[in-house]
């Protein structure tokens, strides 16, 4: 009862907005003064604060940087929701500690080498018609050129592919507008093959390029055998973007080393940074991926390198599918406008952003209007003839995002050196507004800001440095994601979010309403194939099977036991645990580990996984559930016993323990039987309440009831066993089975009461504002210290208190205001004696007492629910 009242309290508190304005205001003033907050701060807080149970409008997928993972958080609250294990082990999710996830990580082996870290840079969400469809997410690993695909149905990584020819990659991942392909541009020029080539032969044997990965959006998998790479000069390709609408079918990739400088500081040569930034311009690569994809299907148009199709530069050039355009010194971001008509390029070492016009580029291409050719024979288009305009933005422009009003030129650019976000007009090349950020921003994340449908609302500044923004935690600081409101005329900085996973280069945001994740797996599913797992085991099918020296355990997990509980194997055996979480209830996750064997897995409801290891240590190893999943979670365990078949073990039989007498056993048996009968009564009353109030009309409640009845349904079988044992005089066994019945009852009651509480919430009439205030006063006055609604506890039950006395409201009011005046009243005297407690004067105001009476009326109105 008590817990139910507490839960009801939560609901009421949630609704307690705007309680007595006069007192709230002074409280607010006090807090503002104490914490040194301005009106502006309060406004920012109001724009980001999300009350308990609230939801965010946008979900952000941020690269986890060198952690090799992805971080998921909500906007505007900036609350972290999940880290997704991608390229690196993530113990909570069992990522890299069970067979299934190890197999995914093994897909990321490069030349046979397992790599246990990743340098994730650019996440991308799959698109349909140039808009996010919320189905798939991909991200690249720059250090070990790989891409990973994450399924947004369960937020789990499903595939890792290794780039067969690059030695690093940066300009990926970028979906084409219907997720037909994913573009992944190389970064550091290197030979495509895996052989040694002296650096002096850089121009001849080192190459850059863009890999065009075929993606199947129906199954969410990259198809390596249908993918190809466009060979490019070793110019150090960088960020990329896919054309859309007007420029659909084309891709854009910039580069920062048209000098093809190769350094050699240790030989007295100028360093890389000097050599690579010598020219005033580098090259934007413009390529027709659509045409090249057709060409690549024909063997005569490709070279096969490392088993992968590569379209050589000359083939691309001959087919008018590859061009270069000069772009200002050492550029970084290249971002195509939502209608595909403009391509905005930022020059990190130039104060300008250059806006290219697709119309003009197309015209130059069609007219073969070239300004020249590069050393590899690629036609160069004239920069002046293809540019629309240039805007002077400030120092170190890096990346761009489009605003809701993009048709009128609204765009946002990050300035790394100036630590600013600039709002400007890319049609007129005019700066509109600036917002300082802290500090040194890299990417910026708009809400769907690079799709054909930018939402505006916010920009997140992904800052590399935090410096003085947070509490000191040693020399390595967190990164700083800052939320900026862009809805007003002036941008407003709202929130600093420390990010403890560095360095999160890029993030993408999607409307939460576009995501449709599932809450459970179909029973016995492998999360990685989506198909039935070979180890699927249902209740009653648990078994241990030996095949040679491989022992297969087909096990199940359900609150609160693992079946089987004893597994005995020989030293040197290989052991596979197939485990299925039989739960249907939302969020009833179990975990599993075997002590000392360095294995772990997470079992969300319905999931089956395999955990394999070699039993190479003799001894006794507890295995257990690693999630606190129920009141009996600690009991959710078993033993792996590893014995050496060549050893003789001395029996410990002599160490017999003292035994209970028959009478003692009989007493214990009776006690547990009585406890079970009493518990069953509670269950029956809950069931009655649920039935009378038509729980079946509320799906969430109905699901819980189904779960509870599931547990309850297991009792008869146990009862039969208990009775049989009792008849045979095996009291010890009978007690254990009765005990098991009690376990099932507790589980039934636990879920049943949760169902009832939910139902109460759905059925109770809403509180009036006065009743809400009264409820708050009731709590503030500490009334709940002695009174429990619906139950006699340290004080009388308050249900019906207004009816118990003549002129009840007046009587109760007097009693709360001046209890001492009534201590001599015979009724009060008897109550005081009974409870051995006296009602204290809590110094309530008349107004508060009036409100409390309103609250008591609300209780009476809903009396049937308590």
> Which partner, ligand CUA, ligand RUQ, none, binds residue 627 by CB below 5 to 8 Å per kind?
ligand CUA
Which is closer to ligand CUA, CB of 454 or CB of 605? 605
- Measured distance CA(454)–CA(337) in Å, rounded: 10
Task: Single out the residue of 61, 85, 121, 222 in contact with ligand RUQ (rule: CB under 6 A).
Answer: 121
Write out the two tokens for 638.
């078993």
Phi-psi region of 762 (alpha: psi -120 to 50; beta: other; left: phi over 0): alpha
For the chain, the C-alpha Rg in angstroms (whole number) is 34
Interface stretch with ligand CUA, choices 376-384, 413-421, 505-513, 629-637 (CB under 6 A): 629-637
C-beta closer to ligand RUQ: residue 66 or 676: 66
The answer for residues whose C-beta is within 8 angstroms of residue 27's C-beta and 6 or more apart is none
Q: Is 299 helix (H, G, I), strand (E, B) or coil?
A: helix
Question: Taking CB under 6 A as the rule, does residue 536 contact ligand RUQ?
Answer: no
Nearer to ligand CUA, 435 or 589 (CB): 589
Q: Which residue has the tokens 């040679």?
A: 548
590 makes contact with ligand RUQ (CB under 6 A): no
How many of the chain's residues bind ligand CUA (CB under 6 A)?
7
Our finding on whether 102 is near ligand RUQ (CB under 6 A) is: no
Strand segments, DSSP code E, in 196-293 are 208-216, 221-222, 228-232, 237-242, 250-255, 281-288
Cis peptide preceding 591, ω within 30 of 0 = no
Instruction: Quickly count: other Cβ atoms within 10 Å of residue 295's Cβ.
Output: 20
Q: Which does 481 bind (CB under 5 to 8 A by kind): ligand CUA, ligand RUQ, none?
A: none
Does residue 170 bind ligand RUQ (CB under 6 A)?
A: yes
The reply to whether 747 sits near ligand CUA by the rule CB under 6 A is: no
Partner that binds at residue 146, options ligand RUQ, ligand CUA, none, CB closer than 5 to 8 Å by kind: none
| In the complex, least distance from residue 715 CB atom to ligand RUQ, rounded to whole angstroms | 59
- Smallest gap from residue 523 Cβ to ligand CUA (A): 17
Q: Count the alpha carbons within 13 Å of 649 in the hemisphere toward its beta carbon.
A: 9
Q: Min. distance of Cβ 491 from ligand RUQ in angstroms?
A: 20
Among the candidate windows 127-135, 149-157, 571-579, 628-636, which touches ligand CUA by CB under 6 A?
A: 628-636
By CB under 6 A, tell whether 629 contacts ligand CUA: yes
Q: Does 122 bind ligand RUQ (CB under 6 A)?
A: yes
Cis omega (within 30 of 0) for bond into 194: no
Give the integer Cα–Cα distance in Å for 320 and 378: 9
Residue pair 731/660 in contact (Cβ under 8 Å)? The answer is: no
Nearer Cβ to ligand RUQ (506/537): 506
> By CB under 6 A, is residue 365 in contact with ligand CUA?
no
- Which of 157-165, 192-200, 621-629, 653-661 is the region at the interface with ligand CUA (rule: CB under 6 A)? 621-629
Residues ≥6 apart with Cβ < 8 Å to 225: none
Intra-chain end-to-end CA distance of the chain, in Å: 8
Is there a contact between 190 and 202 (Cβ–Cβ < 8 Å)? Answer: no
Nearer to ligand CUA, 347 or 535 (CB): 535
Of the pair 121, 787, the CB lying nearest ligand RUQ is at 121
CA distance 787 to 783: 6
Cβ at position 607, least distance to ligand CUA in Å: 13
Cβ distance 206 to 190 under 8 Å? yes
Identified binder of ligand RUQ from the candidate list 242, 311, 364, 398, rule CB under 6 A: 398
Contact by Cβ (8 Å): 93, 602: yes
Shortest distance, position 603 Cβ to ligand CUA, whole Å:
8
Select from ligand CUA, ligand RUQ, none the partner in contact with residue 590, using the beta carbon and a kind-dependent cut-off of 5 to 8 Å.
ligand CUA
Interaction partner, residue 636 (ligand RUQ, ligand CUA, none; CB < 5-8 Å by kind): ligand CUA
Give the Cβ contact number of residue 750 at 10 Å.
Answer: 17
Among 447, 625, 731, 801, binds ligand CUA (CB under 6 A): 625
- List beta partners, residue 70: 63, 84
The site partner of 607 among ligand CUA, ligand RUQ, none (C-beta below 5 to 8 Å per kind) is none
The residue from 153, 207, 309, 332 that contacts ligand RUQ (CB under 6 A) is 332
Q: Which is nearer to ligand CUA, 470 or 628 (CB)?
A: 628
CA distance 597 to 155: 27
Interaction between residue 442 and ligand RUQ (CB under 6 A):
yes
Name residues contacting ligand CUA, limited to 586-615 (CB under 6 A): 590
Write the CA distances from 26 to 20, 291, 775, integer angstroms: 11, 69, 21
Cα 281 to Cα 376: distance, rounded to the nearest angstrom: 17
Residues 476-515, mask of contacts with ligand RUQ (x by CB under 6 A): -----------------------------xx---------
Q: Which of 158, 132, 126, 140 is nearest to 512 (CA)?
A: 132
Partner from ligand RUQ, ligand CUA, none binding residue 170, C-beta < 5-8 Å depending on class: ligand RUQ
From 392, 445, 395, select the one nearest 416 (Cα to Cα).
395
Q: What would the two tokens of residue 574 be? A: 């290989």
Of 628 and 827, CB closest to ligand CUA: 628
Closest CA to 639 of 578, 598, 594: 594
Sign of the torsion formed by the C-alpha atoms of 31, 36, 38 and 41 = negative
Scan residues 561-590 and list those touching ligand CUA (CB under 6 A). 590
Considering the complex, what minimum distance in angstroms separates the CB of residue 688 from ligand CUA?
30
Interface map 297-336 toward ligand CUA (x if CB under 6 A): ----------------------------------------
CB of 151 to ligand RUQ, least distance (A): 24
633 binds ligand CUA (CB under 6 A): yes
Exactly one of 491, 636, 741, 853 binds ligand CUA (CB under 6 A); that residue is 636
Count of other CB atoms within 10 angstroms of residue 106? 11
When the beta carbons of 129 and 587 are compared against ligand CUA, the nearer one is 587
Look-up of token digits 């407690």: 837
Q: What does the H/E/C string look like for 73-103?
A: EEECCCCEEEEECCCCCEHHHCECCCHHHHH
Q: Among ligand RUQ, ligand CUA, none, what binds residue 506 when CB lies within 5 to 8 Å by partner kind?
A: ligand RUQ
Q: Which does 788 bind (CB under 5 to 8 A by kind): ligand CUA, ligand RUQ, none?
A: none
For 845: left if phi > 0, alpha if psi spans -120 to 50, otherwise beta; the answer is beta
Q: How far is the CB of 464 from ligand CUA (least distance, A)?
A: 40
Q: Is the previous residue joined to 560 through a cis bond, with omega within 30 degrees of 0? A: yes
Altogether, the residues listed in the chain come to a count of 866
Query: 627 vs 707, which CB is nearer to ligand CUA?
Result: 627
**What number of other Cβ atoms are within 10 A of residue 181's Cβ?**
24
By CB under 6 A, how many residues form the interface with ligand RUQ? 11
* Residue ranges binding ligand CUA (CB under 6 A): 590, 625, 627-629, 633, 636
**Residues at the site binding ligand RUQ, with contacts judged by CB under 6 A:** 121-122, 170, 239, 332, 398-399, 442-443, 505-506
């Amino acid at each position: 009862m008590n817990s139910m009242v507490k839960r009801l309290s939560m609901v009421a508190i949630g609704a307690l907005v705007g309680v007595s304005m006069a007192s709230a205001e002074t409280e607010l003033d006090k807090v503002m003064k104490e914490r040194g907050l301005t009106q502006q701060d309060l406004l920012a807080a109001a724009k980001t604060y999300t009350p308990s149970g609230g939801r965010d409008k946008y979900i952000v997928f941020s690269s986890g940087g060198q952690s090799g993972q992805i971080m998921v958080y909500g906007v505007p609250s900036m609350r972290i929701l999940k880290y997704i294990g991608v390229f690196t082990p993530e113990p909570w999710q069992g990522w890299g500690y069970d067979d299934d996830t190890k197999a995914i990580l093994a897909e990321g082996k490069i030349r046979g080498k397992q790599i246990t870290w990743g340098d994730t840079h650019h996440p991308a969400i799959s698109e349909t018609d140039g808009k996010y469809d919320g189905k798939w997410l991909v991200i690249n690993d720059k250090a070990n050129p790989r891409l990973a695909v994450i399924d947004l149905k369960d937020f789990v990584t499903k595939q890792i592919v290794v780039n067969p020819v690059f030695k690093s990659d940066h300009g990926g991942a970028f979906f084409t507008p219907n997720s037909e392909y994913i573009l992944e541009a190389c970064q550091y020029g290197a030979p495509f093959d895996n052989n040694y080539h002296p650096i002096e032969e850089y121009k001849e044997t080192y190459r850059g390029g863009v890999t065009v990965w075929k993606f199947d959006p129906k199954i969410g998998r990259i198809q390596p055998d249908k993918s190809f790479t466009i060979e490019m000069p070793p110019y150090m390709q960088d960020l990329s973007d896919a054309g859309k609408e007007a420029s659909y079918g084309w891709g854009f990739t910039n580069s920062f080393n048209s000098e093809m400088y190769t350094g050699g500081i240790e030989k007295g040569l100028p360093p890389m940074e000097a050599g690579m930034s010598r020219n005033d311009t580098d090259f934007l690569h413009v390529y027709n991926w659509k045409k090249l994809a057709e060409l690549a299907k024909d063997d005569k148009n490709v070279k096969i390198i490392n088993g992968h199709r590569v379209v050589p530069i000359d083939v691309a050039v001959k087919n008018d599918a590859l061009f270069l355009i000069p772009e200002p010194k050492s550029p970084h971001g290249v971002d195509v406008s939502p209608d595909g008509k403009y391509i905005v390029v930022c020059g990190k070492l130039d104060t300008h952003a250059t806006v290219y016009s697709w119309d003009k580029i197309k015209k130059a291409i069609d007219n073969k209007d070239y300004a020249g050719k590069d050393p590899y024979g690629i036609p160069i288009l004239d920069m002046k003839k293809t540019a629309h305009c240039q805007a002077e933005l400030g120092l170190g422009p890096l990346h761009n995002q489009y605003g809701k009003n993009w048709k009128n030129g609204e765009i946002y650019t990050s300035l790394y050196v100036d630590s600013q976000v600039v709002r400007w007009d890319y049609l007129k090349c005019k700066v509109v507004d600036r917002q300082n950020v802290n500090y040194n921003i890299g990417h910026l994340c708009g809400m769907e800001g690079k799709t054909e449908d930018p939402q505006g609302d916010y920009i997140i500044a992904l800052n590399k440095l935090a410096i003085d923004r947070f509490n000191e935690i040693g020399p390595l600081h967190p990164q700083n994601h800052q939320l900026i409101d862009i809805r007003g005329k002036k941008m407003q900085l709202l929130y600093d979010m420390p990010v403890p996973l560095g360095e999160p280069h890029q993030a993408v945001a999607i409307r939460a309403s576009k995501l449709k994740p599932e809450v459970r797996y179909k029973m016995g599913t492998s999360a990685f194939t989506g198909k039935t797992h070979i180890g699927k085991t249902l209740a009653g099918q648990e078994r241990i099977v030996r095949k040679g020296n491989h022992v297969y355990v087909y096990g199940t997990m359900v609150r609160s036991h693992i079946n089987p509980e004893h597994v005995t194997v020989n030293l040197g055996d290989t052991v596979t645990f197939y485990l299925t979480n039989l739960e249907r209830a939302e969020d009833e996750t179990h975990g599993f580990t075997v002590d000392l064997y360095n294995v772990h897995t997470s079992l969300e409801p319905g999931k089956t996984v395999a955990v394999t290891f070699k039993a190479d240590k003799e001894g006794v190893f507890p295995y257990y559930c690693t999630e606190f999943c129920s009141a009996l979670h600690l009991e959710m365990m078993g033993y792996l016993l590893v014995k050496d078949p060549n050893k003789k073990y001395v029996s410990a039989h002599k160490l017999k323990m003292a035994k209970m007498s028959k009478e003692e056993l009989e007493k214990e048996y009776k006690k547990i039987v009585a406890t079970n009968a009493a518990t069953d009564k509670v269950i029956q009353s809950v069931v009655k309440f649920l039935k009378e109030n038509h729980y079946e009309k509320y799906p969430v409640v109905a699901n819980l009831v189904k779960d509870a009845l599931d547990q309850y349904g297991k009792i008869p079988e146990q009862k039969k066993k208990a009775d049989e044992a009792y008849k045979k005089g095996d009291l010890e066994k009978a007690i254990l089975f009765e005990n098991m019945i009690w376990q099932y009852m507790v589980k039934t009651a636990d879920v049943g009461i949760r169902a009832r509480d939910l139902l109460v919430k759905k059925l109770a009439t809403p509180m009036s504002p006065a009743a809400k205030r009264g409820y708050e006063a009731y709590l503030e006055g500490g009334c709940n210290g002695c009174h429990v609604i619906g139950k006699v506890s340290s004080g009388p039950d308050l249900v019906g208190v207004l009816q118990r006395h003549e002129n009840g409201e007046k009587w109760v009011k007097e009693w709360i205001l001046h209890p001492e005046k009534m201590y001599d009243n015979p009724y009060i005297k008897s109550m005081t004696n009974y409870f051995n407690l006296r009602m204290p004067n809590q110094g309530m105001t008349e107004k508060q007492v009036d409100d409390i009476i309103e609250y008591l009326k609300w209780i009476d109105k809903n009396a049937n629910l308590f």
